[in-house]
Amino acid sequence: MYRKSIAIAAALIAISSAICTPSVSNAQVSDVAVNRPHPKRQFYLHNGDRVVFYGDSITDQRMYTLYIESYCVSRFPRMNLSFVHSGWGGDRVTGGGGGDIDLRLRRDVLIYKPTVVTICLGMNDASYRPYFQQGFNTYFTGYRHIIDTLLTKLPGVRITLLTTPAFDDVTHPQGFSGGYNGVLTAYSEGVKSLAREYGLTVTDTNAPLVAVMARSVVADPKLAGKIIPDRVHPGYGGHIVMASAVLEAWNAPETVADISIDAAERTVAKAENTRIYDLEITPEKIIFTEKDDSLPWPIDRDPSKNMDTMLVLQQTDLAASLDRFALQITGLGSTEYKLKIDGQDIGLFSKADLSNGIDLAALPDIPQNKEAAELLALTRKRGNLHNKRWREIQTLHAKNGEEVTADIKKQMDDLDLQEVAAAKAQRLAAAPRAHKYELTAVR
């Protein structure tokens, strides 16, 4: 997925991890960072799956998890999926502020009977210091305990391991020889070895972040520092990189819809993941109605608010690999056309632009992107309701970490009902809708 960045990423990671044990080979890094295209395979999630995202403060930000959820709901609007965000700031493989690891797993994972669990730990386990073997051993042993517990208590559960995300040693000077991210790459090798041993899915979230920062610091040094603003917790753009790495490991399909119309032949040449009907073609106009199977990926594309996201999209092929929404019209007679969708002006496009294909997902004003933004807001609402129920009520008032009074249980039940309603609203927002396109020749 990050073919543009592989050479720089491989070099940076190889250098930063050279002092650490276990070592990282250039070949291993290259395979991770490229995320080479794979033949179409079945998507990792199945109808009826419940996903629990488990981790530390990076998961607790509810950003990469939100983007994964919004992708799944928008791309598979008819699939019955549910998501639980169970990150806790400061956590290690032994637990943390939310309790020891066994309480955390029992209360925040097992209780939901998930069919899929993702794990993202390690940033705190390495203790923000140079590599030391005892720390790694504690991490490796504790991680194994988590995996063994999940596999024992949840027969058939599918587990995805995320390597530790990157510490920003790219836009800031390293704090010690080799840098903290060099330590994290060593811990990531431990995660990969556990995935191989247990036959689990693993995705590298470290190398892609390093790669995009390496490219971005050349393009815009100041803005590149906002990809991971405090060097630990990614911003919106960084979390999109993490989400896309997980989705690619899950064999996520790339296409929202792919439309191609031959104006000269007055035919629809391609209509992938969509239906085209009521096609009318005259020398001056092309009119048709389109009903896509899904929405564009709901992510925070607003350039006025999330410049780091726009930088990340510019420096990667993320949009093409996970959010392909293309409109191509060939055989046109005029040189420029005005596009309207549902009567709304979208923009002017040249004959060459339309012949080559335009990226609809990159046009913020199209109705589909506004629908995606509505879905993203509802996804946030659903996640916030659960977080309030869990963090502000359950964990604050539970005795022995789990038992609650009748009054507290009622508050939790009320929020559960609100969350169910928000999830239903998500599905309604994701439902396919028809849109009318009108291209008018202007010269």
- Please give the radius of gyration of the chain, using alpha carbons only, rounded to the nearest integer: 23
Q: Quick one: what percent of the chain has pLDDT higher than 70? A: 91
Q: Assess contact for 85 and 57: CB atoms under 8 A.
A: no
Nearest-CA neighbor of 151 among 209, 194, 121, 120? 194
The 10s digit of each residue's pLDDT in 287-309 is 999 999 999 999 998 877 889 99
What's residue 434's pLDDT? 97
Q: Which residues of the chain, if any, have pLDDT below 70?
A: 1-40, 400-401
* Beta strands at 255-262 and 99-100: parallel, antiparallel or unpaired: unpaired
pLDDT at 422: 97
Identify residue 293 by its one-letter amino acid code: D
DSSP letter assigned to residue 130: S
**Residues in contact with 38: Cβ distance below 8 Å, sequence separation at least 6, in sequence order:** 251
* The predicted structure's pLDDT at residue 401: 63
Please report the pLDDT score of residue 403 as a whole number. Answer: 81
pLDDT tens-place string over residues 188-209: 999 999 999 999 999 999 999 9
- What distances in angstroms separate CA 135 from CA 127, 175, 233, 327, 420, one per listed residue? 8, 19, 21, 52, 41
Question: 241 with 317: CB under 8 angstroms?
Answer: no
Which CATH code for domain 3-249?
3.40.50.1110
pLDDT of residue 7: 36
Provide the residue ranges of all domains of the chain, joining segments of one domain with +.
3-249, 254-443
Secondary structure letter of residue 157 according to DSSP: -
Distance CA 208, CA 1 (A): 9
> How far, rounded to the nearest angstrom, does the alpha carbon of residue 205 sit from its chain's CA centroid?
11
Residue 185, beta-bridge partner list: none
Token reading at 82:
């549910």
**pLDDT value of residue 40:** 62
What is the per-residue pLDDT for 151?
98
Percent pLDDT > 90 in the chain is: 86
Tell me the CB-side half-sphere exposure of residue 116, using CA atoms within 13 A.
22
pLDDT at residue 350, rounded to an integer = 97
pLDDT of residue 441: 97
In sequence order, the β-bridge partners of residue 96 are 99
Q: What is the pLDDT of residue 18?
A: 37
From the list 2, 37, 43, the residue with the least C-alpha distance to 294 is 43
Beta-carbon count within 10 A of 112 CB: 17
